[in-house]
């Protein structure tokens, strides 16, 4: 009898999906589609359609002249040809990974440190918070131009090094130092956003828990590692994922620093910059699309791995 009742309930719910809607609900539904139509049109035209087109072009050879020629998996095979086109792809990925692996952890550590300092009740704290966040709202091109001046041959950093008797390098003109210049730039530009997010997470932690832990005799470090950091782990995980995605899609800074060339000696060539050069400068739409989809696959795979591993160290309220 219970199974019959459950079946009847499911059947009634199924029929309700196709039942005519009340007049007011139908009007609301029409207004919903009316207001969302511009977004849907823009998404389909400027996001979804290029996405499908790039995937199709990755199996073709086309330079805007003539008809695209189907070449199958040749473009993806070229990615593995380390003596041909794959050599510059490997270099771009190694540069991007090196910059990301160094810059993102430093951003996380500095961002969390600043957030702990800004979470204090001090007079004029709003001004300090604004000052720390200000680099984040500066345009990427302006940030890169600023750091080209700071780290130039006659820039502020080299002038400061001269005071202590050290000859500074030409940061963005030497292969050995150009990636470190980009790392400094990313740390300065990206730490403010992470600081703001960490600060929001810190303010969600109940002070009663920290006070109870302090009453039990726990010191500052014990409270941080046993209470604050575990409760802040979802925020840390969010910053980690966003930082990795942003680092792997690095473009503006490398473009401005190298004037779009990826030099010197391809040491500042990021994957996004390589895709730009292949598509816009070389008009190699087939191979450029293949590189773009390889980057997409790497970002998606890394994100999935992060979410799987997060179950071991990220603690949620539930």
Q: Tell me: the pLDDT tens digits for 180-196?
A: 989 999 999 889 889 99
Cβ(107)–Cβ(191) under 8 Å? yes
In a domain, 100, yes or no: yes
Cβ(145)–Cβ(256) under 8 Å? yes
pTM of the predicted model as reported, rounded to 2 decimal places: 0.83
Burial of 97 (0-12, 13-18, 19+ CB in 10 A): middle
**Domains: count for the chain:** 2
Answer with the residue of higher pLDDT: 135 or 10.
Answer: 135
* CATH number, position 182: 1.10.3720.10
* Residue 224 to residue 210: CA distance in whole angstroms: 9
In a domain, 74, yes or no: no
Q: What is the pLDDT of residues 194-241, one digit of tens each?
A: 999 999 898 888 888 887 887 877 778 888 888 888 889 999 999 999
Q: Domain limits at 255?
A: 82-313
Backbone angles phi, psi at 90, to 5 degrees: -60, -40
Burial of 200 (0-12, 13-18, 19+ CB in 10 A): exposed
Whether residue 125 sits in one domain with residue 14: no
Q: How many CA atoms lie within 13 A of 17 on its CB side?
A: 5
Whether residue 26 sits in one domain with residue 96: no
Whether residue 37 sits in one domain with residue 159: no
* Residue 194 to residue 188: CA distance in whole angstroms: 11
Whether residue 147 sits in one domain with residue 33: no
* Residue 138 to residue 26: CA distance in whole angstroms: 45
């Amino acid at each position: 009898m219970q199974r019959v009742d459950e079946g009847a309930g499911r059947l009634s719910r199924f029929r309700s999906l196709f039942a005519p809607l009340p007049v007011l609900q139908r009007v609301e539904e029409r207004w919903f589609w009316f207001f969302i139509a511009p977004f849907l049109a823009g998404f389909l035209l400027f996001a979804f359609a290029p996405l499908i087109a790039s995937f199709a072009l990755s199996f073709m050879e086309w330079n805007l002249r003539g008809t695209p020629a189907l070449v199958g998996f040749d473009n993806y095979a070229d990615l593995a040809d380390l003596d041909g086109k794959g050599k510059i792809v490997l270099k771009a990925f190694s540069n991007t990974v090196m910059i990301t692996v160094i810059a993102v952890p430093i951003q996380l550590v500095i961002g969390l440190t600043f957030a702990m300092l800004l979470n204090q009740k001090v007079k004029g704290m709003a001004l300090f918070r604004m000052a720390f966040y200000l680099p984040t709202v500066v345009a990427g091109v302006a940030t890169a131009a600023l750091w080209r001046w700071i780290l130039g041959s006659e820039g502020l950093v080299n002038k400061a090094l001269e005071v202590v008797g050290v000859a500074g390098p030409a940061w963005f003109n030497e292969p050995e130092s150009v990636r470190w210049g980009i790392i400094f730039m990313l740390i300065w530009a990206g730490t403010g956003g992470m600081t703001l997010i960490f600060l929001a997470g810190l303010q969600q932690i109940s002070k009663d828990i920290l006070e109870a832990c302090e009453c039990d005799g726990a010191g500052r470090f014990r409270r941080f590692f046993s209470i604050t950091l575990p409760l802040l782990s979802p925020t840390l995980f969010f910053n980690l994922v966003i930082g990795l995605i942003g680092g792997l899609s690095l473009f503006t800074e490398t473009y401005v620093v190298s004037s779009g060339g990826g030099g010197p000696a391809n040491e500042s060539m990021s994957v996004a910059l390589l895709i730009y050069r292949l598509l816009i400068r070389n008009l190699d739409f087939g191979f450029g699309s293949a590189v773009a989809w390889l980057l997409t696959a790497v970002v998606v795979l890394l994100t999935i791995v992060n979410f799987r591993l997060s179950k071991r160290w990220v603690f949620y309220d539930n």
